[in-house]
């Protein structure tokens, strides 16, 4: 499983609070006489249609998706409203579940339904839709996204209308709205407009914070944390992007049930850095001591590929479930690296934070592995694998192993269970074949070897180490035939090796 997918799993603890970008579109065409306003696209007309428009919103959906169905009337209502503004905004949809459209799903990296994309300038610029899912919210968000990327601040009232105490605002201060530096600022605003608000002004005195005598050119970023604003005077576009991305990240990201923190939590998990997470009870007497010490450590490692978050246990149950943590381990720090490694310090004290993080950076902390207990008895036809027995039962058993990765709540997994039992019984007296299963939600799995995108996922690993994803029909006979076929192939290969 890719690390990005691991982080998306963690983000579920946020999206359950703030909602997901979800929706489905009712069937429509651009010139439909039935007065539907969402445009239906597919592999045959997608490219030509998008090429004709400066701004198009495309939803990739699946007909069976409940979240998609919920958004359908809101998306259609928004499309009807947006069709009347000048310039109009086009909403479109693609049935990504259709086989013929899967090339589009691959091109746009669609990993779940629904996914909405903003396509600008004939599709040359693609951005994530990050707005609300109700009709009014969609309209408001897309009006802003389709208009100028940066708002001109001409008065203190203009400034107060865009400076939000809980959000990031990036303002360019210029002696005139022309020249290479102003053009680069405009490019910056276009590139990052889906994530940040932008403004520009001729007069720094109109701004609420910072040097009011500055004439520019400079970029001033307003933020609701740390030092509250930061100035930057290098106008290379890539340097500007780096400045905005780094400066708009808190030294320590807070995660609790307050929605104003959630955009920064999402940014934290989307960061390419390793992630240090301190979980504790925010109502405890130690909170202030932890906050102070943790902030000191975070400031020390800022810019050194390690990001820091403090999470309240009341809001972090999803993370606890994912990592296999227990509340009696709180306060605890867990660090997750980009290769999926996890490092844990349970029952940590405030004065231990700095030394433990240093030990981690120095390579002196052993990885933590989430595993269910090893079964005392493993006598069922389908053998149970846990993280602590994975090496012995799967990699080192010398057997041909058919392994199911499942989730306890998965309906398809429950349907497969009796069939897998029958397959296992068929090989009960065969010492060279093992049918096994692992709860992929309760155990760490080797992510560099097994890619598990959904449940159930089945892999066959031969006695000689050949690894195959099983994508056949989930019937007893099909699975038996698959094992026999690939096992026979292995046997022939072994015979040839011995002959040579």
Q: How far apart are CA 308 and CA 395, in angstroms?
A: 35
Looking from the CA of 159 toward its CB, the CA atoms found within 13 Å total: 17
Q: Kindly state the helix (H) or strand (E) to which residue 40 belongs, with its residue range.
A: strand 39-41
Q: What are phi and psi of 248, to 5 degrees?
A: -85, 10
Q: What are phi and psi of 384, to 5 degrees?
A: -90, 125
- DSSP, collapsed to helix, strand or coil, labels residue 138 as helix
Strand order in the sheet with 125-128: 39-41, 90-95, 55-61, 115-120, 125-128
Region for residue 179 given its phi and psi (left: phi exceeds 0; alpha: psi -120 to 50; beta: otherwise): left
Q: From the centroid of its chain, how far is CA 82?
A: 29
24 labelled catalytic? no
Q: Which of 73, 81, 229, 76 is nearest to 146 (CA)?
A: 81
Buried b (16+ CB within 10 A) or exposed e, 280-291: bebeeeebeebb
Cis ω before 456 (30° cut-off from 0)? yes
Beta bridge partners of 128: 117
Q: Catalytic residue among 1, 413, 416, 420, which?
A: 413
413 labelled catalytic? yes
Beta bridge partners of 344: 334
Strand order in the sheet with 457-461: 383-384, 433-439, 400-406, 457-461, 467-470
Given the DSSP bridges, would you call strands 90-95 and 55-61 parallel, antiparallel or unpaired? parallel
Q: Kindly state the helix (H) or strand (E) to which residue 15 belongs, with its residue range.
A: helix 3-18
Q: Catalytic residue among 289, 410, 419, 490, which?
A: 410
Q: Catalytic residue among 10, 39, 62, 68, which?
A: 68
- Contact yes or no for 256/316 (Cβ under 8 A): no
Q: Catalytic residue among 11, 25, 65, 142, which?
A: 65
Residues listed for the chain = 500
- DSSP, collapsed to helix, strand or coil, labels residue 467 as strand
410 labelled catalytic? yes
Q: What are the residue numbers of the active site?
A: 65, 68, 410, 413
């Amino acid at each position: 499983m890719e690390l990005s997918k691991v982080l998306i799993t963690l983000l579920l603890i946020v999206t359950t609070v703030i909602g997901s970008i979800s929706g489905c579109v009712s069937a429509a065409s651009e010139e439909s006489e039935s007065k539907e306003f969402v445009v239906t696209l597919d592999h045959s007309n997608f490219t030509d249609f998008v090429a004709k428009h400066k701004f198009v919103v495309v939803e990739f959906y699946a007909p069976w998706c409940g979240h998609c169905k919920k958004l359908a009337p809101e998306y259609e209502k928004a499309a009807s409203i947006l069709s009347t503004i000048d310039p109009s905004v086009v909403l479109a949809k693609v049935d990504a579940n259709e086989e013929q459209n899967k090339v589009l799903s691959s091109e746009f990296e669609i990993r779940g339904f629904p996914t909405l994309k903003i396509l600008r300038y004939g599709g040359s610029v693609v951005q994530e839709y990050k707005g609300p899912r109700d009709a009014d919210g969609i309209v408001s968000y897309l009006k802003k996204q389709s208009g100028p990327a940066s708002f001109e601040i001409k008065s203190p009232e203009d400034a107060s209308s865009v400076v939000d105490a809980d959000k990031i605002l990036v303002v360019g201060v210029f002696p005139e709205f022309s020249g290479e530096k102003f053009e680069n600022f405009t490019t910056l605003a276009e590139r990052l407009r889906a994530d940040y608000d932008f403004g520009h002004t001729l007069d720094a005195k109109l701004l609420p914070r910072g040097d009011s005598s500055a004439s520019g050119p400079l970029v001033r970023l307003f933020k609701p944390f740390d030092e509250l604003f930061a100035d930057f005077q290098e106008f290379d576009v890539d340097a500007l992007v780096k400045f905005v991305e780094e400066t708009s990240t808190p030294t320590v990201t807070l995660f609790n049930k307050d929605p104003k923190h959630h955009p920064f939590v999402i940014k934290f998990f989307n960061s390419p850095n390793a992630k240090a997470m301190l979980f504790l009870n925010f109502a405890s007497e130690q909170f202030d001591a932890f906050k102070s010490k943790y902030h000191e450590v975070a400031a020390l490692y800022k810019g050194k590929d390690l990001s820091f978050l403090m999470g309240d246990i009341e809001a972090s149950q999803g993370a606890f479930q994912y990592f296999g943590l227990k509340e009696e381990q709180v306060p605890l720090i867990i660090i997750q690296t980009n290769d999926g490694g996890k490092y844990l310090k349970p029952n940590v004290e405030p004065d231990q934070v700095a030394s433990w993080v240093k030990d981690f950076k120095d390579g002196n902390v052993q990885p933590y592995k989430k595993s269910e207990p090893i079964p005392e008895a493993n006598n069922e036809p389908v053998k149970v694998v846990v993280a602590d027995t994975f090496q012995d039962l799967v990699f080192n058993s010398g057997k041909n192993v058919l392994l199911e990765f499942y989730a306890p709540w998965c309906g398809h997994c429950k349907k497969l269970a009796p069939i897998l039992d029958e397959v296992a019984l068929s090989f009960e007296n065969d010492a060279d074949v093992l049918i096994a299963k692992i709860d992929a939600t309760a155990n760490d799995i080797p992510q560099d070897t097994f890619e598990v995108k959904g449940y159930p996922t089945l892999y066959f690993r031969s006695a000689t180490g050949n690894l195959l994803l099983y994508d056949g029909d989930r019937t007893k006979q099909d699975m038996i035939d698959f094992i026999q076929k690939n096992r026979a192939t292995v046997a022939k290969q072994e015979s040839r090796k011995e002959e040579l």
